Amino acid sequence: MNLTESEKVELNAARGRYFALERMARERNCSGFENSNPEIALKDSLRALSRLYEEGIISKEEYLSKRNEIIQNFEL
């Protein structure tokens, strides 16, 4: 899929909003957002980040930086 720069920015912003809302729902223990398995949460976060990189929405530097941040914040 070939996206224009503005479409990439818009898509990245929408995904950012989605992830922020999902994180808030988990923090507030909303039903359907239980974080009972932190390993699954880590894998989901890394997969989502990987998709952003593969689709060209974020650069390799952004990908690696955020990946390291996610892994450092991960707690078993």
Q: Which residue has the tokens 């922020």?
A: 20
Q: Which residue has the tokens 């909303």?
A: 30
pTM of the model: 0.55
Work out the angle at residue 9's Cα, subtended by the Cα atoms of residues 5 and 12, and round it to the nearest 5 degrees.
135
Residue type, 37: N
Residues of the chain with pLDDT under 70: 1, 33-37, 75-76
- Give the span between the Cα atoms of 67 and 74, in whole angstroms: 11
E-assigned strand segments in the chain: none
Q: Residue 25: what pLDDT?
A: 82
Contact between 76 and 39 under an 8 Å Cβ cutoff? The reply is: yes
